[in-house]
Amino acid sequence: MSTTTTIDLAAEIRRLAASKNAVILAHNYERPDVQDVADFVGDSLGLSQQAAKTDAKIIVFCGVHFMAETASILAPDKKVLIPDLNAGCSLAATITAEDLRKWKAEHPGAVVVSYVNTTAEVKAETDYCCTSSNAVKVIEAIPAEKEILFCPDMFLGAYVKKMTGRKNIRVWAGECHVHAGIRPADIEAKRAEHPAADFLIHPECGCVSSLLYIKGEQSGQQTCMTDAKVLSTEGMMNYAKNAPAKEFIIATETGILHRMKKFNPAKNFFPVSEHAVCQFMKLITLQKVFNALEREQFEVKVPAAIGDKARLSIERMIAIV
């Protein structure tokens, strides 16, 4: 698409959004032109908070399906649209509500903490929702003697276990293929290339937990972790803005680099891996955002019976953080 066409389409999208009283929300991993057309760009928690407080009639959610569902749970009276229904999440797909019911039956009395990357049905079976920015705080708020079932991300689970020191947390063996694909070797190579750069890493990355557990026998890996900042995508954005450093190595999906560079033009950002690309996020194109608005497609509506239960798990999280 030529630049002129992109600008025309973006202008048409803004015109349609205004005439239909729609708000456009985009996750930090979206394509640059989709981020640029949005009213708000942020992490999963920030976007769901925007969805909860908007006065708009329509929410166009440029993100993946569970995020649009979360918007529908928090704003049940709004029309929530996702520009491509195939925008799923490999991590959310690792656990179904049926799986969780079986797991709960095996551990009666355990408290369920689910990462926001889960379906509405799974959230409805959950006691506390959490996000990458507040998982440790949520776990710390649960009485120490209570057994916890944490799902679905095993790396975030290992990270919270390590940070809280709790032994009574059982962790579901799910992972995000994008973050699991970021290896310690990628990090070591990038850090050797840019030794003065601050190193920011998302807790879904497979190497976070392995690096945390390594106590220094392997010097390269220890170097990776000693000064790493483990942050959610919006946490990374804030850190990049406020830190005095001029260079940053980023271990998460590469889409976040667009906004980091845009708001910090005097700083340099290096992705740990150019291959860390979420193909689900990238399914959302400017043309599909336009189609979604014009045709008011594709609606994501969580049934009230599920949404009301799922909302409780999110409200319990919000009460803690």
The angle that helices 206-213 and 154-164 make with each other, rounded to 10 degrees, is 30
* x/- letters, 251..280, toward ligand SF4 (CB under 6 A): --x------------------------x-x
Is 82 a binder of ligand SF4 (CB under 6 A)? no
- Between CA 119 and CA 89 the distance in angstroms is 10
Which residues make up the interface to ligand 13P (CB under 6 A)?
28, 43-45, 117, 131-132, 176, 204, 232-233
- Between CA 62 and CA 82 the distance in angstroms is 6
Residue 313 DSSP label:
H
CB of 73 to ligand SF4, least distance (A): 17
Residue 107 DSSP label:
S
From the list ligand 13P, ligand SF4, none, pick the one residue 313 interacts with, judged by a Cβ distance below 5 to 8 Å according to partner type.
none
Please pick, from the candidates 70, 72, 94, 117, the single residue that binds ligand SF4 as defined by CB under 6 A.
117
- Between CA 58 and CA 17 the distance in angstroms is 9
Is 91 a binder of ligand SF4 (CB under 6 A)? yes
CB of 190 to ligand SF4, least distance (A): 19
Judge contact between 189 and 165, C-beta under 8 A. Answer: no
For 30-89, the three-class secondary structure string (H helix, E strand, C coil) is: CCHHHHHHCCEEECHHHHHHHHHHCCCCEEEEECCHHHHHHHHHHCCCCEEECCCCCCCC
Q: How many residues bind ligand SF4 (CB under 6 A)?
A: 13
Judge contact between 127 and 316, C-beta under 8 A. Answer: yes
CB of 39 to ligand SF4, least distance (A): 21
- By CB under 6 A, the residues from 45 to 64 that bind ligand SF4 are 64
Which residue bears the tokens 């979206």?
30
From the list ligand SF4, ligand 13P, none, pick the one residue 90 interacts with, judged by a Cβ distance below 5 to 8 Å according to partner type.
ligand SF4
Please pick, from the candidates 176, 197, 228, 293, the single residue that binds ligand SF4 as defined by CB under 6 A.
176
Is 178 a binder of ligand SF4 (CB under 6 A)? yes
Contacting residues toward ligand SF4, per CB under 6 A: 64, 89-91, 117, 176, 178-179, 204, 253, 278, 280-281
